[in-house]
Amino acid sequence: MNNTINRFPLRNAFFTGVLLVFIPLWAMSQDRSALDSLYDELDVLFEEADLPIGLLEKADSLMRLMDIQYHSLGMRAGYMSNVLTAGRDLGIDQHGFNTGLSYFHPSGMFADFSGYWNSEYNPTYYLTNIGLGYWHNFSNYWTLSIGHDFMLYDKEIEFLFDKAARASVFYQRKNWEAGLDYRYLYGREKANRLVGIFNGRISWKNVGFIDRVSIIPGATVQWGNSDVIYYRQSETPLQDLYKVLQEGSYPPLSDREFLRLSYFIYQGYDLRAYQFLREKGFTNNDIQNIYDDYESNLITTDNSYGIMNFALNTAISISEKNWNLFINYTYNFPQALPGETYEYPKNDYVSISLMYTILWPAK
């Protein structure tokens, strides 16, 4: 079976109930305050992810670790109840899974290796993603991240984009953050994505046996471009039809007959046009070719820019020692681009993620 991906990679999938992680066999002491600082920042990492390495998409949020000077290694797996692109439901009942390994260096460099499964693809494992990048803070509140992703698709999968350059800037306070994330997607085609993000956060420490519980409401707006295919209203319908008839090997029509045929087609009297052409010696194949050629001249493709999606989300983050469980609900309001006549339905999804993190001090 041949699968086609005609948009940039399917939205991140985080965690199955069966966790695909490993626990180190060697012991190490953890700085408790360092781990607390890490989980403060991990809360925001899972909020919005259109790129396959969603964990690293906001790698700048780990900026606070620069002051702590710790290495960080994260192992994760995830589940997503519905696979979307730019908040748009593909009309297919599909869900996704992923696993990954992420490393952050105190210098600001980071690397990620991720694998992706989709229930509707054959094979179900369809994508391996490798990401490299760098993050830096300019003050106690501003952080910047740049990076590049390489998508390695299964040979049975057709795709338009297999590389992405990205940059993010965030302003972060104790109980909220706002930022912009830009991506340039390229490969066989090119596209742009710009996401504006605003998240709030309310946290409680030492809730029963749990170290930290956070509630994270948020909103995003996504701007970008995509090819839009639509029918145009011809300004010269008679010339278009005449050109089609002249370029094909069809029985000749007089001027009067041509005008009569034009009237039938222009008014939408397809049955009368068909009967008329059959009377004039046109075969069924001739008639079908005339219609196909005439309508193909009315199909226009434009690369349109505009707002693609608004989204509201609410998440809960639960942290205990080195573990972090993240459950998120998102409701999308997808928007048609200029020139699109299709009205995209609103949709929602649930994602569940779990991560095990190891920290060790830089020497």
Same domain, 264 and 198: no
Say what the pLDDT of residue 316 is: 93
pTM value surpassing 0.85: no
Q: How far apart are CA 25 and CA 85, in angstroms?
A: 39
21 & 102 share domain = yes
Domain boundary among 279, 297, 315: 297
Residue 196: pLDDT above 90?
A: yes
Question: What's the token pair of residue 114?
Answer: 């991720």
**3-state secondary structure at position 289:** helix
Q: State pLDDT tens for residues 259-272.
A: 888 878 777 788 88
CA separation for the pair 20, 194 (Å, rounded): 32
User: Pick the residue with more confidence: 7 or 72?
Assistant: 72
Which of 251, 281, 297 is the C-terminal boundary of a domain?
Answer: 297
Mean residue pLDDT across the chain: 76
Tell whether the model's pLDDT for residue 237 goes beyond 50.
yes
For residues 256 and 308, membership in a common domain is answered with no
- Three-point CA angle 134, 195, 163, nearest 5°: 55
Token pair for 222: 């996504």
> Which one has a higher pLDDT value, 208 or 42?
208
Give the model confidence (pLDDT) of 317-327 as tens digits.
999 988 999 99
Work out the average pLDDT over 211-220: 93
| Domain range enclosing 162 | 3-226+304-361
pLDDT at 248: 81
d(CA 163, CA 186): 5
- The predicted pLDDT at position 217 comes to 94
Q: Which pLDDT does position 26 carry in this prediction?
A: 28
Q: Residue 67 pLDDT more than 70? A: no
Cβ–Cβ < 8 Å for 297, 240? yes
Q: Are 110 and 251 contained in the same domain?
A: no
Q: What is the pLDDT of residues 99-124, one digit of tens each?
A: 999 998 988 899 999 999 988 777 78
Q: What is the pLDDT of residues 10-27, one digit of tens each?
A: 333 232 222 223 223 222
Between 238 and 348, residue with greater pLDDT = 348
pLDDT higher than 80, residue 53: no
> What's the helix, strand, coil split of the chain in %, to 5?
20, 50, 30
Per-residue CA distances from 106 to 13, 146, 299 (Å)? 27, 16, 54
Ranges of H-type helices in the chain: 32-42, 54-57, 65-68, 237-247, 255-267, 270-279, 284-296
User: In total, how many domains does the chain have?
Assistant: 2
Same domain, 78 and 147: yes
Cα separations in angstroms, 333 against 183, 208, 222, 326: 21, 37, 10, 23
Which whole number is the average pLDDT over 283-303? 76
Same domain, 202 and 255: no
**Is residue 110 domain-shared with residue 205, that is, in the same domain?**
yes
Q: State whether 82 and 168 are in the same domain.
A: yes
Average pLDDT value for residue range 3-11: 38
pLDDT at 314 (0 to 100): 94
Cβ-in-10-Å burial (0-12, 13-18, 19+) of 29 comes to: exposed
The DSSP call for residue 156 is T
Q: What is the pLDDT of residue 27?
A: 29
Find all residues with CB under 8 Å of 361, minimum gap 6, and list them: 31, 69, 70, 71
- Name the least confident of 166-175, 207-216, 234-243: 234-243
- 175: number of Cβ within 10 Å: 10
In degrees, rounded to 5, the angle at the alpha carbon of residue 294 between the alpha carbons of residues 289 and 295 is 100
Is 333 found in the same domain as 188? yes
**Residues 77, 52 share a domain:** yes
3-state secondary structure 176-214: EEEEEEEEEEEECCEEEEEEEEEEECEEEEEECCEEEEE
Residue in the structure block whose two tokens are 């085609």: 189
Based on the fold, state whether residues 164 and 246 are members of the same structural domain. no
pLDDT given for residue 39 in this prediction:
45
Residue 130: which H helix or E strand, with range?
strand 125-137
CATH number, domain of 81, equals: 2.40.160.40
* 160 burial via Cβ count (<10 Å: 0-12, 13-18, 19+): middle
* pLDDT value of position 59: 37
Judge if 152 and 112 occupy the same domain.
yes
Last residue of a domain, which of 270, 297, 324? 297
